[in-house]
Amino acid sequence: MTVRPCCRGSGRGVEGTSVLLRERRAVAVLELAGPLFFGNVSPLGRALEEARAGGARHVVIDVGRIVRVDLSGARRLMSIVRHGRQHGMTVVLAPIRPGHPVADYLAALGMAPGSCFAELTDALSAAEEGVLAEAGIGRPSFATAEDALHALGVPREHAGALAQRAETRDLAAGEVLCRGGEPADAVFVLMQGQVDVQLPRSAEVAASGHKAKDSGRMLLAHLSAGAVIGERALFEASTRTADVVCVEPSKVLILPAPMLAEIIREASPATLALVLAITHNTSVSLQLANAAIQRLEL
């Protein structure tokens, strides 16, 4: 039995990521591995209670490494899930999809697992959204470039000036914002919609147990409005490391590299405000990631 925190760092904007950092114990991932039978699933009940005592309100049971299931294990698993839900916790299984041993066995037995997810990343995203909803933070959307920059942390007087020199772009569902290997020629701020960060799925990735949306792609993260994408373009000449694909109609604010270079040469107050805002956004995300690493090391 492995207990892991929910931590994806970026993708929720400064306000949302700050809440997730503060509430980092609200989500727990409990990982099962090997064969699923009564004896090895029973510790899951204790782990779930320990997670609840530690402040977890949203629990994802990762069954991705289960290789086979028997009747006693399936029944005990569902009993533990129901117990957690009866005590006010959101408890889901992932991945639950056709072809996976747990999903197929539960379906054959007529045991409906309830609200669950085909991908672990989707389950973690839903858990984060639950935590943010509890904090009164809905899914953000920014009508103007100035609004997006201000939400990032740029003061209004500077956000307006920067917005006049930036670009915006509407993208359709399925459209690629940028691809891995391309020059990092702009910084993007997601204003509306949602995008996925994906990598080609190599043989090594497949062997590692990570899940993909399809046979050729590995899903790294969902990003929501307020997320900064490609910020390395602000600090270094490099290439993109992953593809960014829209999962629904989206809108982005574009800060092209020539514009960034120009305002950096100007060394204006607006430049400093933008750099500080992006650096703060990155810093908050790293704090969340470091908190997760520390919990893993305990």
Q: What is the 3-state secondary structure (H, E, C) of 9-51?
A: CCCCHHHHHHHHHHCHHHEEEEEEEEEECHHHHHHHHHHHHHH
| pLDDT for the residue 298 | 43
Phi (first) and psi of residue 257, to 5 degrees: -60, -40
Mean pLDDT along residues 196-202: 75
Q: Which CATH superfamily is domain 145-297 in?
A: Jelly Rolls (2.60.120.10)
Q: What is the mean pLDDT of the chain?
A: 81
pLDDT in tens, 75-125: 899 999 999 999 999 999 998 988 888 888 888 888 878 888 988 888 888
Q: What is the pTM of this model?
A: 0.66
pLDDT higher than threshold 80 for residue 292? no
H/E element holding 265?
helix 257-266
CA angle 118, 120, 125 (to 5 degrees): 105
| pLDDT for the residue 56 | 92
pLDDT in tens, 237-277: 678 888 999 989 999 999 888 888 888 788 788 888 888 88
pLDDT higher than threshold 80 for residue 223? yes
pLDDT higher than threshold 70 for residue 177? yes
Mean pLDDT along residues 9-33: 77
278 closest CA partner among 200, 162, 121: 162
How far is the C-alpha of 180 from the C-alpha of 198, rounded, in Å? Answer: 9
pLDDT in tens, 62-78: 998 998 888 898 989 99
| pLDDT for the residue 58 | 94
Q: Topology of 24-134 in CATH? A: Transcription Regulator spoIIAA (3.30.750)
H/E element holding 97?
none
Domain ranges of the chain: 24-134, 145-297
Instruction: Kindly give the pairing relationship between strand 90-94 and strand 58-69.
Output: parallel
pLDDT higher than threshold 50 for residue 39? yes
Mean pLDDT along residues 25-45: 88
Q: First and final CA of the chain: distance in angstroms? A: 15
